[in-house]
Copies of this chain bind each other. A is one copy, B any other.
Amino acid sequence: MVSVEILDSPAEVADKADRIITMLPSSPNVIEVYTGPNGILKKVKKGSLLIDSSTIDPAVSKEMAVAAEKMGAVFMDAPVSGGVGAASSGKLTFMVGGPEEEFAATKELLTCMGANVVYCGQVGTGQAAKICNNMLLAIGMIGTSETMNLGVRLGLDPKLLAKILNMSSGRCWSSDTYNPVPGVMEGVPSANNYQGGFGTALMAKDLGLAQNTATNTRTPVPMGALAHQIYRIMCARGYAGKDFSSVFQFLREEEEGQ
Contact = CB atoms under 8 A, between A and B. Distances in A.
Nearest to A157: B121
Contact of A160 (B120, B122, B201): B120
Interface string A125-150: 10111011111110110111011111
A216 B250 CA distance: 19
Contact of A164 (B129, B157, B208, B241): B129
A221 interface: yes
Given A140-B143, A167-B93, A253-B237, A135 B154 contact: no
Contacts of A120: 156, 160, 164
Nearest to A83: B169
Given A147-B135, A222-B233, A228-B215, A124 B155 contact: yes
B128 A251 contact: no
Contacts of A173: 168-172
A34 interface: no
A157 B119 CA distance: 11
A121 B156 contact: yes
A20 interface: no
Contacts of A144: 136
A187 interface: no
A157 B125 CA distance: 10
Interface residues of A, number: 93
A208 B215 contact: yes
Contact of A170 (B137, B142, B147, B230): B137
Contact of A213 (B118, B154, B169): B154
A143 B136 contact: yes
Given A128-B156, A132-B170, A170-B132, A215 B220 contact: no
Interface of A: 58, 81, 93, 95, 116, 118, 120-122, 124-125, 127-129, 131-137, 139-140, 142-144, 146-151, 153-157, 160-161, 164-165, 167-175, 177-178, 201, 204, 208, 210-230, 232-233, 235-238, 240-241, 250-258
5 contacts: A125-B155, A142-B222, A150-B214, A168-B173, A172-B172
Given A127-B154, A139-B143, A215-B228, 11 more contacts: A128-B154, A132-B148, A136-B147, A139-B140, A142-B223, A149-B219, A201-B255, A219-B232, A222-B229, A225-B225, A237-B253
